[in-house]
Structure 1
Amino acid sequence: MKRCLPWCLLSLLMMFPGCRSTAKFSPDQTPASASAYAPTAQWKPTTFVDIPELQTGAGPMDAEIASEFSKTESGLKYRILRNSDGRKPTADDTVTVKYRGWLDRGKVFDSSYERGEPTTFPLRNVVAGWTEGMQLIGQGGMIELWVPSKLGYGEAGSPGSIPAHSDLHFVVELVSVE
């Protein structure tokens, strides 16, 4: 809720002409205080967002993190939050990870941190954005993924948790590769 408060106040202030900000942003830019939790109705999704807040139980991030996402040929956006020289998985490997996943408006739909234990699964058995993204870091690394709908659950969504055509956001720590 802390992250929502400034956006709620901004929305209220924008209703009153005398309180409007004179700051101007291009459609592909957001103010420095914007984050992945910004309402999509107010801000167009961009490649710039604040560094995500980590949940309790997450390991540290590197001291310097890129403010912009890199983009793969498939459209997956990512940024490395903690580098590692550890073994990188292939699509045929089984990985153990700690993660949190949320939608554009900030609603968390899954979190191993909240369950208090890492999750293990074959990398081929997850959405394409995860399979691709996890191969970008080594064991012990941390990555932030911005998975476009076509690499996630697409037009079907996932009944009960992820609406159709939803982009997905994740912070993932790669604990081990088997």
Structure 2
Amino acid sequence: MLSIDLLSIREQFNNNHILLCFNGPISRSLIEEIGNALKNYLQADNALPHAAQDVFGVYIELTQNIRHYANRMQYSDSEGSATVVVARNTEGNYLVLAGNQVELDDGQAVCQRIEQLAEMDKVELKKAYKTQLRQPRGEDTASGAGLGLLDVARKSAQPMVAKLVDTGSGRGFLSLLAVI
């Protein structure tokens, strides 16, 4: 039998104020169910309505991006699985972390985009969002790293952070952090 120290995991979750954690294949219905659980957790945590709405919106955006990317790349369930964590820090901010396997080139492009967004202030982010919103979108335009990430950056209290870890075979694990 596999030995897992669940108590240790629980203590780590409690010490890091983790409200929600998911790891595995992610579907549209699962995103919705976890989203409903997240709403309940935020309500139980007495989150301010605006903060709860932003945390939920960021969760939806990041998980849908993962799902769409996995579908577009035709990844298997295991290849397209997601890791999602929602926690609180000691300052009372919510942390939304999401990660998934990506092709290295794609991950590097997202990291570069996150770095560009991190250099913008709130006014510049709003202007970039409005500009992107007005751009025509063709049927063959790939989604990702556009309007949604701008929206996440606008909702974030601090610049978003991206990390790409090379896992071999031209792929990596991309992690994104938004602080709300």
TM-score above 0.5, yes or no:
no
Higher relative contact order (CA 8 A, sep 6+): 2
Q: What TM-score results when the alignment is normalised by the length of structure 1?
A: 0.27
Q: Which of the pair is proportionally richer in helix?
A: 2
Q: What TM-score results when the alignment is normalised by the length of structure 2?
A: 0.27
